[in-house]
Amino acid sequence: MEIKSILKPEGSIVAGIATGILVYSIYDRALPDAATMHATDANDINIEAGRKKATLSAAGVLSAITLLTRDVNVFVLGGVVLFALDFHARHANASNPQTGLLVSDKGYNTQLRAVS
């Protein structure tokens, strides 16, 4: 079954960019800036809760706009922004502010050091 977009090619790109901006604004309102996330202790539960809320909200908005427009470009552009922002927030929350190393949720460093 073929799904026909309701947008023209020019409108498809504009709608995709606008959806990406909307996803960005959801993350911007739900999470602190990157410097604050890097400065807090690793795996802060409040940042993790905000990240999950932003991810679910942005995925819902992205799904709704994609279903309304029936356009794959909207989904791809919005999805790329969603993935990038979620990865960025996860990385910032997992870094130790003193060492800069990534810390797993179990509490140990995940970066391997060379043995001399």
pLDDT digits (tens, 9 = 90+) for 42-90: 999 999 999 999 999 999 999 999 999 999 999 999 999 999 999 999 9
**Average pLDDT of the chain, as a whole number:** 88
| Per-position DSSP letters for the chain, written without gaps between them | -PPPPSS-HHHHHHHHHHHHHHHHHHHHHHS--HHHHHHSPTT-HHHHHHHHHHHHHHHHHHHHHHHHHT-HHHHHHHHHHHHHHHHHHHHHHHB-TTT--BB-TTSSB-S-----
Residue spans per domain, the chain: 9-94
Q: Residue 113 has what pLDDT?
A: 46
* Whole-prediction pTM: 0.84
Least confident residue range of 28-42, 82-96, 101-115 = 101-115
- Residues 69 and 75: their CA atoms lie apart, in Å, by 10
pLDDT reported for residue 114: 40
